[in-house]
Amino acid sequence: MRLCIGIVAILLVAYIGLIATVVSYAALTIEFSQSVRNDEAEVAALESMYLNNVERIATTDYIADGYIRPSVTKFVPAKSATALR
């Protein structure tokens, strides 16, 4: 009888340990999922801000703002700006 009570006690402790492991895993999974959603929302906000700035730059009438067109456009070849010169 004592052997059966000992085995039941060991199985009960193991069961409680498994439940604790599953609950902690679920909590970590939910926390990670929320973190991913927050990061996606932040990236979406930054992307929206970027696209708004690109649109503003592309649609600005610089001549109306007082700038003049350059009389000559000259492209100068440049050396590579990498670290492997």
Q: Domains of the chain: which residue ranges? A: 23-67
36-58 pLDDT, tens digit per residue, is: 999 999 999 999 999 999 999 88
11-24 pLDDT, tens digit per residue, is: 999 999 999 999 99
pLDDT at 62 over 70: yes
Please check whether residue 79 is in contact with residue 85, taking contact to mean a CB–CB distance below 8 angstroms: yes
Distance from C-alpha of 1 to C-alpha of 7, rounded to nearest angstrom? 10
Q: What is the pTM of this model?
A: 0.54
Q: Tell me the DSSP string of 1-39.
A: -HHHHHHHHHHHHHHHHHHHHHHHHHHHHHHHHHHHHHH
pLDDT at 63 over 80: yes
Instruction: State the chain's mean pLDDT as an integer.
Output: 90
